[in-house]
Amino acid sequence: MLRRRRMPPIVSDTAAPAHDRPRARLLSDGPRALSDADLVALLLGAGSSRLSPRAAALALLEAIPLAELAWAPPDAIASAPGVGIARAAAIAAAFELGRRAAWSPPRRGERCLDPRRVSELLRHAAHAEREGFHVVLLDVRGRLLRAVQVAEGSLSQCPVSPRDALRPAVREGAHGVVFVHNHPSGVMRTSALCAAASAIALWREIAASDRPHNLAGAEVAS
């Protein structure tokens, strides 16, 4: 026989321990009523730190603003006072869940010629710590086959040969390609664009189809 479990009552702010007060407000008023620090404090939990969750949350947001915290690696989050690697992993996981819930990238078989849809497909590239060169493979109707990262470089450069850029397209028989390159340093360089232009020229040389190929270039800059 199944027994119904009684839900614990919501504790008021004044009666609850310091680390439970944001939780009580969230349950009574909803998450939008909480500040950024309150939400981060909830993710931190009570733990064993000498800092209270709210104090640790405030210190973390002081060190890493919220917009940067959303993309920060766990080891960078863990370096803040009162956080540690376990709490940092929980924060990174929470931000990733939020991204996945809000992410609506093009799916295989969907047309992907609009630069905005290409940017959505490779949105993560704009926040990468290293430069990368990606190739989006398309069929004859401009529909997505898949996206492939063909090279990863440093903060400021990403050498890639035209043949490497085109190898996935030739291997899979793609009819069109979109080249995507990010700039973590914020400095727009021409090296990857030159590689893309050379790859397009090479594509035209080796293309065996008697139908015209759709070729496009796209930049995703951080």
- Of the candidates 50, 31, 9, which has an alpha carbon nearest to the alpha carbon of residue 42? 31
Confidence of residue 176 (pLDDT cuts 50, 70, 90): confident
Residue 75 has a pLDDT of 92
Domains and CATH numbers, the chain: 18-102 (no CATH), 115-217 (3.40.140.10)
Residue 166 has a pLDDT of 82
Q: Which residue has the higher pLDDT, 168 or 128?
A: 168
In the chain, the percentage of residues whose pLDDT exceeds 90 is 19
Report CA 135 to chain centroid distance, whole Å: 17
| pLDDT reading at 201 higher than 50 | yes
pTM over cut 0.75? no
Residue 189 has a pLDDT of 56
Confidence of residue 38 (pLDDT cuts 50, 70, 90): very high
Residue 58 has a pLDDT of 93
Residue 94 has a pLDDT of 92
Distance CA 122, CA 167 (A): 19
What average pLDDT score do residues 207-219 get? 40
Residue 52 has a pLDDT of 85
Distance CA 34, CA 69 (A): 17
15-21: Cβ within 8 A, 24+ apart: 17/46, 18/52, 18/53, 18/54, 19/45, 19/46, 19/52, 19/53, 19/54
Residue 57 has a pLDDT of 92
What average pLDDT score do residues 161-187 get? 79
What average pLDDT score do residues 73-89 get? 91
pLDDT digits (tens, 9 = 90+) for 116-129: 888 888 877 777 77
Q: Which residue has the higher pLDDT, 100 or 2?
A: 100
| pLDDT reading at 210 higher than 90 | no
**Residues in contact with 103: Cβ distance below 8 Å, sequence separation at least 6, in sequence order:** 120, 123
What average pLDDT score do residues 163-188 get? 78
**Residues in contact with 85: Cβ distance below 8 Å, sequence separation at least 6, in sequence order:** 74, 75, 78
Helix (H) or strand (E) holding 84: helix 84-102
